[in-house]
Amino acid sequence: MRLLPALAFGTLMLPLAAQANEPHSYAQPDQVVVTHLDLNLKVDFPHRQLDGRATLTLDWKNPKATTLVLDTRDLKIASIEAVDAKGKTRALTYVLAPADKQLGSKLTIQTPKRPHEVRIAYVTSPDASGLQWLPPAQTADKKQPFMFSQSESIHARSWVPLQDSPAIRFTWDAHVTAPKNLRVLMSAPNNPQHPLDGTFDFKQTHPVPSYLLAIAAGDIDVKETGPRSAVYAEPSVVGKAAHEFEDTEKMIATAEKLYGPYRWGRYDILVLPPSFPYGGMENPNMTFATPTVLVGDKSLVSLVAHELAHSWSGNLVTAASWRDIWLNEGITTYVQGRITEALYGKRQADEETLLSIHALQKSIGSMSANSQRLAPQPRDISADDSLSDVAYDKGSWFMRMLEQKFGRKDFDTYLKSYFNHFAWHSITTEQMLAFLKPNLIDKYPGKMRWAEVKDWVYGTGIPKDAPIPDSPRFDAIDKERTAFLAGTLPATKLDAKSWNTQEWMYFLDRLPDAPPLAKMQQLDAAWHLTGTPNAEIGMRWYSHAIAAGDKAAWPAAAEHMTRIGRLYLTMPLYAAFAKTPDGLAYAEQVYAKAKAGYHPLTQQAVEALFAKAKAKQPDAK
């Protein structure tokens, strides 16, 4: 997935479930594991619910086990039955525990005979944390409703009762019905020619963890971009998206050359409505992506490189628990950089690396010691909070450190062997280290001490010798920014005509937190940043303009916040507004209008931010 905003907007700490394996799941994989899921779903737009029947195939690990424990959240259970080999069913008794705020409701099913299959009939809640239901007005084309899921980290349980832990992998198939003329897509091979007849069947033959279950339905058109790739989006968006993502086949071929074959068959991309709370989600066979990367010049397509890279790091070799999530995100961010470098050159790859380094350097100091570790002590970190800058940016930095110490050729060989060795498995940090030691560190003695490796993985902060790429263009921008702020270079004389998106991001990132208002006005007069269609630039511009007290930028900032529900691009504006009582009051008005178009995760994040700001400003009612 990419990208969550830094911990400042994170969710609450999770209380610890009593299981030894994954603290964010009630599942008991030492007793029984789900090996296959057969799903039957009806997409019910009027009631904003999925009408579901989930049949779980079970592998009993304990021959004396008497219960099956599953994760659920806000599900209404209609019936639960055991299914025998001949298809005969028998009702089972069960207890659905009161909901834990973070973990949902533990579902305990009495299974004294340890059936081969258990079938659960249920409906989801209109407020399911893993689903968003958009009325037509909140889509690009405004004709049909749209729905989509976001299961990572622990939200699959809000639309399917299952063992919701990344350590447990299962194959699945699904039969889905939806209103005619709408298209249903899932995280399995999809057929671009499928008729819109209201009935769709899916089969995921590879074992995947629950957080990679995904579904979407809406007025979705398709355009093929290569022999094994297509772009799906609303009709008015699909052409633009196909153009932006036309290099997809080149990206797949580049990754294959480095790390071995793409093993999933098709690689498609679904561009969602702007309320999608993340940049992208690596759902197998079908990346879900934000439309905010459709800027016309491919300058933000490293998002696709990132989600595609997850086909190796994350989906093929998976972190066994949320505490180990850096294995997914750190390695993926490294691989993303390699794909970007191969296709768009070292300048862009290095610039993206530097932006990630600077973001981490800025954020890591305000994190707790435990959150600064790649592999934190699991008891003190929540599932969503695990997906922090540390997992992405420190994780990829560690990979670049290894590349530098061992040389690109030997490190590439190592990483390919790592993917092959652990293919289709979920592993812990310690399993990764046990493979790293003999196959890289000890194999080429004298290049890196084991203590250094452990410092990267278990230490706080950033090791002193962490490599930082050179960027002459960023250096030149630093000089221009300094001269502009000192008054020796007018805004109109900045060399910004030649800046790409990353260079604008860098220029804006390093402005003072609250720049002088006059300077912001000069910049805007010269470069027309207010109203920019590029949301990466907009997010940085508006945050600084708000902090500078530039009220003229407020309406355009409000438009940005209303149009985009992606956490990373919207939350910094709320945070900037919330610093003053006036700004907070304005942000609350904006939110009142924008809320209906936001994903539940974005709503939660904004409301938590308001509550925090009000606690600090007792006078601001």
Q: Which residues are catalytic?
A: 307, 392
- Closest to Zn ion by CB, 319 vs 520, is 319
Q: Whole-angstrom Cα distance, residue 93 to residue 71?
A: 16
Considering the complex, state which of residue 2 and residue 481 has its C-beta at the smaller distance from Zn ion.
2
Residue 576 binds Zn ion (CB under 5 A): no
CB of 124 to Zn ion, least distance (A): 25
**Minimum CB distance to Zn ion smaller for 332 or for 530:** 332
Angle formed by the axes of helices 326-344 and 302-309, nearest 10°:
130
Is 75 near Zn ion (CB under 5 A)?
no
- Contact yes or no for 219/278 (Cβ under 8 A): no
CA distances from 371 to 326, 390, 479 (A): 12, 8, 34
Which residue in 168, 128, 178, 165 sits closest to 150, CA to CA? 128
Minimum Å gap between C-beta 314 and Zn ion is 7
Joined together, the tokens standing for residue 15 give 């209380």
- What are 147's strand-pairing partners? 133, 217
For the chain, the distance separating the N- and C-terminal CA atoms, rounded to the nearest angstrom, is 37
Q: How many residues bind Zn ion (CB under 5 A)?
A: 4
Closest CA to 501 of 542, 541, 539, 534: 534
In the range 445-484, which residues lie near Zn ion by CB under 5 A? none
Q: Minimum distance from CB of 540 to Zn ion (Å)?
A: 21
- Asked if 383 is part of the footprint of Zn ion (rule: CB under 5 A), the reply reads no
Candidates 1-9, 199-207, 465-473, 512-520: pick the segment binding Zn ion (CB under 5 A). 1-9
Stretch that binds Zn ion, among 188-196, 327-335, 339-347, 496-504 (CB under 5 A): 327-335
Does residue number 1 form part of the binding site for Zn ion (CB under 5 A)?
A: yes
What's the burial of 574, exposed, middle or buried (CB within 10 Å: 0-12/13-18/19+)? buried
CA distance 408 to 349: 15
Helix (H) or strand (E) holding 435: helix 429-436
Distance CA 544, CA 529 (A): 11
Region binding Zn ion by CB under 5 A among candidate stretches 112-120, 286-294, 330-338, 496-504: 330-338
How far is it, in rounded angstroms, from Cα 185 to Cα 173?
A: 13
Strands (E), 194-246: 199-209, 215-218, 221-226, 229-233
Nearer to Zn ion, 363 or 532 (CB): 363
Handedness of CA 97, 100, 103, 104 (dihedral sign): positive
279 close to 290: Cβ distance less than 8 angstroms: yes
Please provide the DSSP assignment of 376-399 as one string: --GGG--TTTTSSHIIIIIHHHHH
Nearest to 331 by CA among 244, 414, 252, 261: 414
Candidate segments 151-159, 256-264, 329-337, 362-370, binder of Zn ion by CB under 5 A: 329-337
CB–CB of 61/34 below 8 Å?
no
- Pairwise CA distance, residues 71 & 100, whole Å: 11
Nearer to Zn ion, 332 or 348 (CB): 332
Of 5 and 104, the one with the shorter C-beta distance to Zn ion is 5
Least Å distance, CB 327 to Zn ion, is 11
- CB of 282 vs Zn ion, minimal distance in Å: 6
Q: How far apart are CA 209 and CA 320, in angstroms?
A: 9
Task: Name the minimum Å distance from CB 3 to Zn ion.
Answer: 8
**Closer residue to Zn ion (CB): 335 or 553:** 335
Of the pair 186, 331, the CB lying nearest Zn ion is at 331
Window of 86-94, 183-191, 332-340, 471-479 that interacts with Zn ion by CB under 5 A: 332-340
Of 385 and 503, nearer to Zn ion (C-beta) is 385
Interaction of residue 2 with Zn ion, rule CB under 5 A: yes
Q: Binding segment for Zn ion among 2-10, 72-80, 198-206, 582-590 (CB under 5 A)?
A: 2-10
Output the smallest distance, CB 329 to Zn ion, in A: 5
Binding mask 336-355 for Zn ion (x = CB under 5 A): --------------------
Q: Which is nearer to Zn ion, 44 or 307 (CB)?
A: 307
> Cβ 605 to Zn ion, closest distance in Å?
18
Give Cβ neighbours of residue 83 (< 8 Å, ≥ 6 apart).
55, 89, 115, 116, 117, 118, 119
By CB under 5 A, which span of 43-51, 199-207, 291-299, 323-331 interacts with Zn ion? Answer: 323-331
Question: Nearest to residue 178, comparing CAs of 149, 203, 210, 200?
Answer: 200
Least distance to Zn ion from the beta carbon of 283, Å?
A: 11
Q: Which residues of 82-92 are buried (b: 16+ CB within 10 A; e: fewer)?
A: bbeeeeeeeeb
- How far is Cα 65 from Cα 220, in angstroms, rounded to an integer? 45
Q: Which residue's entry shows tokens 């006036």?
A: 582
Least Cβ distance, residue 2 to Zn ion (angstroms): 4
The DSSP bridge pattern shows strands 215-218 and 183-186 to be antiparallel
DSSP 100: B
- In the complex, least distance from residue 392 CB atom to Zn ion, rounded to whole angstroms: 7
Give, as one character, the DSSP assignment of residue 272.
P
Name the DSSP class of 313: B
3-state secondary structure of 577: helix
Site for Zn ion in 224-263 (CB under 5 A): none
Work out the number of other CB atoms within 10 angstroms of the CB of residue 179.
15
In the complex with Zn ion, the residue whose CB is nearer, 118 or 567, is: 567
Applying CB under 5 A, which residues contact Zn ion? 1-2, 329, 332
